[in-house]
Amino acid sequence: MNTITLGELTVSAQGLGCMGMSSVYGAADWDESTRTIRRALDLGVTLLDTAAGYGDGHNEVLIGRAIAGRRDEVQLATKAGLSYARGKVSLNGAPDHLKASCDASLLRLGVDVIDLYYLHRVAPDVPLEESVGALADLVADGKVRAIGLCEIDGDQLRAAHAIHPITAVQSEYSLWWREPEQTLVDVARELGVGLVPFSPLGRGFLTGALSADTLPADDTRRALPRFADDAMAANASLVEAVRAVAATHDATPAQVALAWVGAQSDRLGIPVVPIPGTKRVHRLEENAAAADLQLSEADLNALDGLGAPGRGRPLLNRARRSVHREPDDRFPVAITPDDAPDLLLLCAREVR
């Protein structure tokens, strides 16, 4: 697979999002997930994306075991600042917490250094500069090679970059969700920061395989307004348009959607490395093949019009989110550094 430069890192043109391997999108199988990770490395997909908060540490343990003996083939990206403690989700950008979380991640992953370390979310009660300063300290300590931020806007990126160079920003971005083009891309281009899109397949919607009938009852997407029955029905024509382009290339809708995202590196003028998530080998192979799919300018222009900001059906981006999220029932008062030992206990737990 071709590679892309993110700051001082050289990564595969497409990464692998591993969140779903820890029962976020329905049940997951440890052995199949392990096979998927190892097959990714065989195919040259070397950027693996995880987080301390995925499965209460399960995800990092899984990845650490899957890459044993192959560390030199991998660029590991993980995150801190969004934590699960005593059954609640909370944001914590306190420097002590971020540093303790990094130590715990290193142990769970079984590595000496993390290639790309993200602040998972900006905590509303901690100045961004303090959180970024802690990540900079981790770089200076040799525990982290590069740092990134998740779900931020251009002003926040500029403020963070003034503290320490930011290698990448991770945001949702796909044909179905174009918000970063309005809020982030111009500043990223100016500062030389890459974009790592999560959910480049529109949380699976752009595969054409999802419907109200096929989405598992325990799937977290059922809580999203975009996956309400009326929203999915209203957006069905978007999938059909992607399917039509796919037919001209003997490709799948998922491959076309991923190829569109990959093509944005040249069109936006910044490195763009999508990280589609899967927990199955056959889906990984389908996704990875998209890195070789070349869409024509006519294809790209036709697809652009489907999900361009400000166009299309009102339900297209029905669930708009603010990057300045205030505390609510999902994100209560942030946990304190006193909770860090709970994270460290995960390192010794047998997770399967």
Domains of the chain: 3-345 (3.20.20.100)
On the question of pLDDT at 123 being above 50, the answer is: yes
**Whole-number average pLDDT of the chain:** 85
Q: What's the pLDDT at 178?
A: 92
Report how far residue 255's alpha carbon sits from residue 252's, in angstroms, rounded to the nearest whole number.
5
Report how far residue 24's alpha carbon sits from residue 20's, in angstroms, rounded to the nearest whole number.
5
Q: What's the pLDDT at 315?
A: 32
Higher pLDDT among residues 335 and 205, named by residue: 205
Number of alpha carbons in the 13 Å side-chain half-sphere of residue 7:
22
**115 and 10 Cβ atoms separated by less than 8 Å:** no
Q: Which of 54, 84, 118, 173 is catalytic?
A: 54
Q: Which of 119-133, 157-171, 213-227, 335-349 has the lowest mean pLDDT?
A: 335-349
Higher pLDDT among residues 23 and 113, named by residue: 113
Residue 84 appears among annotated catalytic residues: no
Report how far residue 39's alpha carbon sits from residue 292's, in angstroms, rounded to the nearest whole number.
17
Which of 243, 260, 237, 251 has its CA nearest to residue 312? Answer: 237
Which residue has 């801190």 as its token pair?
80
Q: What's the pLDDT at 348?
A: 29
Q: Which of 123-137, 144-158, 180-194, 228-242 has the lowest mean pLDDT?
A: 228-242
On the question of pLDDT at 333 being above 70, the answer is: no
Determine the distance from the C-alpha atom of residue 38 to the mean position of all C-alpha atoms in its chain, rounded to a whole number. 19
300: which 2 tokens? Answer: 């790209």
Q: How confident is the model at residue 347 (pLDDT cuts 50, 70, 90)?
A: very low
- What percentage of residues in the chain have a pLDDT greater than 90? 69
Q: Which of 51-65, 78-92, 261-275, 317-331 has the lowest mean pLDDT?
A: 317-331
